[in-house]
Every structure is written in C-alpha cells, then in structure tokens.
Structure 1
Amino acid sequence: MAATGACIFPFVFSPAYRRRSESSAPAGSNQNPRLNSWSTHRFAVSTEQASSAATATTFPSSRPVSFDENGRSHEKHGEKTSDQSSPTPFMEDVKLESGRERLRRFFAEAKDLTRTDGGPPRWFSPLECGSRLEKSPLLLYLPGIDGTGAGLTSQYKKLGKVFDIWCLHIPVMDRTSFLGLVKLVERTVKAETYRFPNRPIYLVGESLGGCLALAVSARNPDIDLLLILANPAWSFEKSPIQPLLPLLELMPEQLQLSYPFILSLMAGDPSKTFKASTEKGLPPQQTVGELSMDLLTMTYCIPVLADILPKETLLWKLQMLKSASAYTNSRIHAVRAETLLLTSGRDQLLTSQAKGARLDDALQRSNLRKFDGCGHFLFLENDFDLVTIIKGTSFYRRGKSLDYVSDYLPPTPSEYKKLYESNRWFDEITEPVVLSTLENGRIVRSLDGIPTEGPVLYVGYHMLLGIEPALIVIRFLNERNILLRGVAHPMFFEKYRKGKMLELEPYDSFRMMGAVPVSGTNLFKLLSSKSHVLLYPGGMREALHRKGEEYKLFWPEQSEFVRMAVRFGAKIVPFGTVGEDDLGEVFFDYDDQMKIPYWRKFIREVTEEFAKVRTNATGEVANQDVHMPLIRPKIPGRFYYCFGTPFETAGRKQELRDRDKSHELYLQVKSEVERCIAYLREKRESDPYRSIFSRLMYRTQHASASEIPTFDL
C-alpha cells in the first residue's frame, strides 16, 4: 500500500454530581459500594451509564480565514462560504476557562466536597459529564495531595464528551494508607473490567495520584489500563521540600506559611498574567487590574486551602508521598500499561521534568510531553487542555486496540483555529495558488471542481520533505468544509519505540487532523466511511528524493490503490504540486550520505527501527531508507496546486476486475498527475507574483485581505 512521506508540519457556579461510594473495607467484605452512595442537596446518586454522541456544531469556512473570540471563522476575499447545512467535520467546541477562573472553580468544588465530609474514600461522577460518545471508556481520576478529586473541574465538560468520568475523593480526616488506596482503586478497576471486559480504563493521576496509577498498573499487568500521569511523585525522595518535613513537624505554629507556597504552586507563574495582558495589547491600568484580581483570588483561596489541608492532613499527605514514591519505585519494572507522561518545567514541588525523562526511559510503553512554562498543578494551568493533548498523541481508544478511523476525535473549531494560526506564516510566505478542474474541463482558481460527496481518493506528487499537505488540508477545511484524512508512514505513529526515534511532538497536529498509518486496512475503513483520503503513492522515496529528481514520480508498478477505490466506488482525483524548488535545493542527498561510513551506519540503524511499508515492492519505490537530505535554502517563491479531472469508478466494478483494465486506469491517473505538474511548471513562469518581493509589494499597495493575482488561466 502507498505511503506518504516525511511531512515536516504537524502541522461562581454550582454543578451537581452523581456519587459513587466505595468503602475501604477488605476485599472480602459483603458491603456493596454501589449501595453505600451518599448525597447532599448538591449531590445526586446515580449508577446509570449515560451515553450519547457528541453534538456537532456548524463551522463556516472560507479562504483565508479569520476567527472571532469564539473560534468562529469569517470569510474574506469575497468568496462564497460553504453550505451551512452541510455536516461539519468538527467536534462541538467547549470554552476553556482562564487560569484564575480555573483556580476559583477548583476551590469552590473542593469546599463543597468537604462541606459534609467524613467516611472512607469514595468515587463521584460529575453530572455535567453525562453527554458522551457511545461506548466511551472509563476514566478514573486519582487526585494529588489535596485529595478532593476536584482537580479536573476545568476539564470536565470537554472530557465528558468522550469519557465516563469517576473522580476519587479522599475525605480530609481520612487516614487510609497508600497501600489501602491502591487496593481501593484496584477493586474498582477489577469490578469494571468484569462488567465491561472490552472497555479500556484510563487512570489519570497527578502527583500522588500518579503513584497510585503506576502501582495499580504494576499489580495488574493483565488489565487493559491506559495511564495519564501529570507530574507523578514517583521520585519524591529528591523533592526540594523533602528536607523541610522535619522542620514542619517541629514548628506547627509556622505551618500556615506553607499555604501561600502551595497556593502559588496551584496559581502558577504570576508573570504569565502580565505576559498575556501584554500580548493582548491591554493598557497598563487593565494589566494592573488583572494582577490585582489574581491577588484577590489567592487571598480568597487560602482559607479554603486550610480547610482542605489542615496541619495534620498536610503532614500525613507529605509522609504518604514518601511511602508512595518508595512503593512505586520498587515496581516500575512491572508496569506494562500504555502511558502518556506529562511533565512541567516549573514544578517547584517535584522538579518533574528531569525526573520525567528518567521515568520515560524506565517505562516500557510511554509517550512524553513537556510543558516548560507550567507549574506542578498542570490541570489548573491557563489554556491547558487535556483532550487536545490526547487527540494529538492518538491516545484515545474505545476497544482493546486503537482504531485510527473509528476512534478518531476530530478537532474542535478552537483547536483548529490554533492549528491554523500556527501554520499561517507558511501560508503567507508561499501564498499558494490552488486550482481545480470542473466537469467541463475548465480550470478555475478554487476548489469548486472537488467532489462534495465521499468517498474520494486524492492521489498526487509528494514534494520535498512532504511540506505540501498542511497547506492543502487547511484549504480544504476553510473553503469546502472537508476534512482530508492523510495516510502516512508508520514512523509518525511509533509512540513507544525507544532508540534513534524522531521527535514525535511536532507531529501532534498532523495526527489531530486525521492522519492514519498507511495500511490496506486503514484505507479500507476510510473509504468505507466515505471519507476524503489523501494518498501519495511515491511515499518517502518521493518526499526524500535525490539531487535533480524534482517533480519525478516514484510510483510502484502495481496499481495498488485502484482496486480499493473501485471496491467502494470512490472518485480518484489526481493532483500535482509545484514549488519545492522555489524554497530550497538538495545539496547533500542520500547517495552522498551513504558514501560516508558514519552516515551509512546511522541511516541503516534508524531505518531498521521503523516498520517496513513496502516489503514486497521492487525498484526505486522500495528504497525508502529513513534519512534527512541537507537543503540549501532559497528566497521563498510560491506554491501551486492543480487538481485534475476526477476519475469515476462507481459502476465499473466488473470492468475493473480485469487486471489489465485496472492497470490502465492506474497509468491514466499517473499521467494526469504528471500533466498537472507540467501545466503548473509552465504557467508559473508567467506569474508576475511568483517572487516573494513582488507579493510584498502587492500587499503594500492593496488591502492585506485581498487575494494576490497569479497567471491567466
């Protein structure tokens, strides 16, 4: 099956709850935790499993796009927006709270949870998380040293769309040992696995909760667990506050000084408020007001913090961190679960980032993400979005194994806005000219010639380093409200392989926009779901070509994608792309590198780490060794895309069963791609705005929103 190459772009409230209670009685006790639920006037008891699909929201699109404060787009250039009644490719958006609002909400939740406190640790499930996807996996939140279980409050609404959420609440005066908490979580995990054997269970733990998750996983290697660990306290013996424990015990009258310190860990870096205000262009008076509000918030929160963590409880929790760290360290080798490890660069409690790298090395299947500007309480940080991270790391699944098609969670409008803005500079530098072919053969400067209904298979030429997909995926969304699902080399999805791996984090946006590993199974599922699929038959060999091989197709001899398209009656749209030679020139390629022993050894070692895509292929297309050509940059030119006449396969199933007929269609598609490339290379010579300097001059003379002209069609 064909593969894409190495794309460099990733391109004050009062909620109610359902509560589930579980005592810390021995496993053999006759007590039924589901019959021991308790409630107050703000907490409702329920054991029902609510399930519904997330509601989609209409997202108007045009090109280029501007966004309002809600993540909505507005059209420019006077172009026609897409049909508002057409299905949106986006998930329902959820507005994120600011850091100050998150902190206030956390303490409001924590205060309410401890109002009628007492009894053993128990589970509760927020009522606002009731509208979720069908067969959503279970998410068990394991809190940090606060023990309230309210740490995910700012994430509830968005997480609740895709998870069944239970949060562990540890009452203030409860003195259950760490091992007792491990057994409590373990009983819940085993019970839910027995009830739903095919449903994975996510353990989301921060600080102390991270140790709980690791311990439960180590003790239950045969249960399908996925761990999300935010600054886990697995190495507390080296924490900066470790030496202060004896001092805190000896000077109880000074213990209240610890509350401002803990609160500062929750509130994060105050300089962020100043920086955010400056970036927004707020006047000095308003910036001072923002900082004053932060100070008032901290003043309000300190008394609540004293109720959550009184002196005895704080000392108990800090001592528990010691035992939790020792227990977990001795069992790290037994952890088999898939793990998403989140570490902060400004964690003053645990110095998590340095320890996170060691934990990442120690775990067998871990995927590390670093947040340099964040503090210890990661879920309370401004703009931190756990669901977005889960999407980008392909860490969401509803069955025994990840299905890149059925488990895919599309971006929300606000997530897409951030992705669009992050790639906007490249769009402005290259100012792409996008052409398509109407049914009558006329070429137009738009995507009007693109089929609306799927399945559609877009087959084209892969430019140097695979830099063209990001721009065209964005254009399809903005102009036609179509989400292109690219099939890519498996190396972009090797999350847990250790060794000479490429850094996967820059490709999170690539996966968030729907890319899947290349395979016949994934292509089958995409076309059967009537998707619009982006395919590059030349794969890595084409994207990492040698000197002098610009615009040369390296397609396999077999008509591999035609038979799959015919099976589902998919339209095949060939397209050509031109412009790589206007950005850079290869001067040290694969052939040059293989002449040097060091580079030859490195290339072979890296290539061996990745799954082979074309094990049965022969010729140049089979030569897909992983390497990085050295490129001499040029003054940026312009990109050009041309989508040719679609090839219909519907109704031709019997005809194209014949291998010769199928191969004939394959050659026609390839010829059309070459024709599109030749057309663009010829026409761009007459483009008066091919140079970036002429485009900049045009911008100075016209409105910045106007579309820059190109050659005559």
Structure 2
Amino acid sequence: MVAESSQATVDVSAVMNHPPRVRAIKQVLGAVADGIQPVVDLWRPYVDGLHNLPADGRFLLVGNHTQGGAEAFLIPYVVRRQIGVRVRPLADRQFGQIRGLFGDLLAAFGGVVGAPETARELMRHDQTILVFPGGGREIPKFKGEEYTLRWQGRSGFARIAVENGYPIIPVGLVGGDDVYRSMTSRDSTWGRFSQALSGRFGGRQDMAMPLMRGIGPTLIPRPERMYLRFGTPVDTTTPAGVDATGWAEEVKRRTQTALEQILDDLLGLRETDPYRSLSPLGWSRAARPGSP
C-alpha cells in the first residue's frame, strides 16, 4: 500500500459502491480478520498510542513503508480491533488499477487508487484513510536507508486533509526494515546499476532494488518483532489569516517531523526490549519493553 499518485481520472463511484463479488470477498476477509486474533497475539507486536485514535473514525493515518510490508496489514488490523472501523488504504495506481482476483482482493481489503479525487470522496463519507506518502519508492531500502522517509515532492495528503479539515494521525512501524537486510548502498556499483535498470525498464530510478538477504544467505524473512505507535493528532484546521497552500506545507512538515520522532523513539525503545532477540515462540510471553 502506498501513496498519492497522478491526476488521471478514476471511477469515483466505485470507491463506495463495490460489485457483489467484491462485497462477498469483503465478508470473507472480515471473518478471517475476526479469527486471527490469537495468531496476532502469539506474534505479540508492541503497540501503543491507541488513545490517540478518534473514536468516530474520521482521520487520516500517515505512515512509513518498510521492506517487510507488515504496516499495510498491521495498522488496519489494530485500528479495526480498537475502534471497530475499516481502514481504507490508498494504493499506488500501478496496484490500484490491477484487474481480476487480485484487484478484487485489494478492493475488498478497502484499498483504492491513491488519487486526489478518491481521497476526497472517502473524506466526504468520513472514512478512516491510510496513506504512505513515500509510495513504492520507500519500500526498497539500500544499506543505511532503514526507517528513513522519502517524501520529496509528496504533500498532496496534507493539502487534501487541510481542504477537508481532516485530522492526521502519524503512525510509525519499526521492525519491517529488518525482515530483510540490504547488502548494498545506493551509491555502490550495484546501486547505480539497479537505478539505471529501473529507469530503463520502469521509467523511475527511485524504484531501484538493493541486494538483500533474509535468514542467512536466503530470502526467507527474518523473524522480527514489530513496534507500532500511533502519534498525537496533527490539527489541520487552517488558522485565520494563514495562506492555505503555505499551511498545507506546514502540516506536511509537522506530520513528517512527528513521524520521524516516533521512529527514533521506537528504535530506542526496541534496544531496551529483552524480548527482541527471543525466538517467536518466546514472544508469547512478551508485554512491554522493559517489563519483567
């Protein structure tokens, strides 16, 4: 799940009105979500800041993407479990316009194309929305880029939130960038080659892939405990006498600063967690970092 995208026209009516096949899949996914609580509890992610979630569900979650991708599933799960609302992730156009079964699954999960008009439609219906402003380019991390935000030129989420008076909840996840370890830096020989290859065949050098490994030399994901925090809401109400465009940039800056602080705090908190290095079977006894 990623972020805002281009200005191309999308089917806005389909945002809130799914065909019967998608509604059927949505019912199945809801039943599955209700039944996986014991599994998630065994996995024992660290979660805090739940008191920052407005009970009415009218807010925009703004998060960081990781290589493991756990944030795309853990955030909606935790929010649904806490306040009983379905989160609507904004998906990158290349994913959001996929047809067939995968497209139906994405729609049933709540995902929509991350275009401005779809975000506005969701806000008109007071939906809970999730966006990753870094988009797909924030997923592949070269060595040294773990838990960094790549929001250059991405301020549309703040502009639309300001237009609609939508509060923003920064939400950070630590753990996902350690599922795979990057072995190459962006300025290495492989990094330059990968960027050139990505630009040649995908038209975007920022989607270059590093050389990665999971457990040992394999691509089997490393078992990592996840640390999730919901931050204090960012008020998007435009102050009297303040230019709306300038205020949107300020809202973006405040959101990014808050999220970067959350990530720094979680990285520090993880260092004190005695359960971090245990096997996943040991996580069932874990509560809070530093607890006995």
- What range is the shorter-chain TM-score in? 0.7 to 0.9
CA deviations on 1:93-146 (whole Å, 9 max, x unpaired) are: xxxxxxxxxxxxxxxxxxxxxxxxxxxxxxxxxxxxxxxxxxxxxxxxxxxxxx
The question of whether the paired residues in 1 share the 8 Å contact of 2:122 and 2:129 is answered with: yes
Residue matched to 1:165? none
The letter for the 2-side match of 1:491 is Q
CA deviation profile, 1:137-159 (whole Å, cap 9, x unmatched): xxxxxxxxxxxxxxxxxxxxxxx
8 A Cα contact 1:435 1:641, kept in partner: yes
Aligned pairs for 1:589-600 within 5 A: 592=190, 595=193, 600=196
2:234 equivalent among 637, 642, 647: 647
1:552 and 1:468, CA in 2 relative to 1: closer, same or farther beyond 3 A? same
CA distance in 2 between partners of 1:624 and 1:636 (Å): 27
Call closer, same or farther: CA 1:412–1:663 in 2, change over 3 Å: closer
| Whole-angstrom distance in 2 between the partners of 1:632 and 1:463 | 15
Query: Residues of 1 paired with 2:35 and 2:184: CA distance?
Result: 32
> Max radius of gyration: which structure?
1
Given the superposition, is the C-alpha separation of residues 604 and 424 from structure 1 closer, same or farther in structure 2, using an over 3 Å criterion? Answer: farther
Q: In the aligned structure 1, how far is the partner of 2:109 from the partner of 2:282?
A: 34
What secondary structure does 2:90 align onto?
A: strand
Show the counterpart of 1:710: 288
Partners of 1:448 and 1:551 lie apart in 2 by: 24
What residue in structure 1 maps to residue 218 of structure 2? none
Q: Which amino acid aligns with 1:543?
A: I
Q: Which residue of 2 aligns with 1:522?
A: 118
> Which residue does 2:164 correspond to in 1?
568
Q: Structure 1 residues 528 and 696, CA, compared in 2 at 3 Å: closer, same or farther?
A: same
SS at match of 1:687: coil
- Percent of counterpart pairs with the same letter? 26
Give the 3-state SS of the residue equivalent to 2:274 in structure 1. coil
Gaps of 5+ in 1: 6-399, 437-446, 497-503, 609-621, 703-707
CA distance in structure 2 between the partners assigned to 1:463 and 1:417 by the alignment: 27
Shift, 1:420, TM fit: 6.2
- 1:21-64 deviation digits (Å, cap 9, x = unpaired): xxxxxxxxxxxxxxxxxxxxxxxxxxxxxxxxxxxxxxxxxxxx
Contact 1:537/1:556 (<8 A) preserved: no
- The residue matched to 1:459 in structure 2 has which SS? strand
Higher relative contact order by CA 8 Å / sep ≥ 6: 1 or 2? 2
The verdict on how the C-alpha distance between 1:485 and 1:656 changes in structure 2, with shifts beyond 3 A counting, is: farther
Deviation, 1:684, is: 1.0
Could you tell me how far apart the structure 2 residues matched to 1:534 and 1:523 are?
Answer: 10
SS at match of 1:477: helix
* Letter matched to residue 193 of structure 2: K
CA-to-partner distance for each residue in 1:157-196, whole Å, 9 max, x for gaps?
xxxxxxxxxxxxxxxxxxxxxxxxxxxxxxxxxxxxxxxx
Deviation per residue, 1:208-248 (Å, 9 max, x gap): xxxxxxxxxxxxxxxxxxxxxxxxxxxxxxxxxxxxxxxxx
Equivalent position to 1:418, from 23, 32, 36: 32
Structure 1 position 435 matched with structure 2 position 52? no
Q: TM-score, normalised by structure 1?
A: 0.35
Bigger helix share:
2
**Separation in 2, partners of 1:656, 1:560:** 18
Is 1:696 equivalent to 2:281 in the alignment?
yes
Does structure 1 conserve the Cα–Cα contact (< 8 Å) formed by 2:236 and 2:251? Answer: no
Alignment partner of 1:551 out of 136, 147, 152 = 147
Q: What secondary structure sits across from 1:575 in the alignment? A: strand
CA contact (8 A) 1:577 1:639 kept: yes
Q: How many Å separate the matches in 2 of 1:603 and 1:458?
A: 31
1:459 corresponds, among 38, 62, 75, to 62
CA contact (8 A) 2:173 2:227 kept: yes
Aligned pairs (5 A) from 1:18-37: none
TM-score, scaled to structure 2: 0.79
Contact 1:433-1:639 at 8 Å conserved across structures: yes
The separation in 2 between residues aligned to 1:637 and 1:450, in whole angstroms, is 26
Counterpart Cα distance in 2 of 1:689 and 1:696: 10
Count, aligned residues = 274
2:219 equivalent in structure 1: none
Output the CA distance in 2 between the equivalents of 1:575 and 1:553.
12
Aligned to 2:267: 681
Task: Specify which of 471, 491, 496 is matched with residue 74 of structure 2.
Answer: 471
Measured at CA, do residues 448 and 692 of structure 1 come closer, stay the same or move farther in structure 2, by a change above 3 Å?
Answer: same
**1:666 is matched by which residue type in structure 2?**
K
The equivalent of 1:3 in structure 2 is 3
Change (3 A) 1:539 1:698: closer
Q: CA deviation at 1:417?
A: 2.3
Q: CA RMSD in A?
A: 3.4
User: Does residue 407 of structure 1 match 2:17?
Assistant: yes
The offset of 1:547, in angstroms, is 2.0
| Alpha carbons 1:687, 1:710 under 8 Å: kept | yes
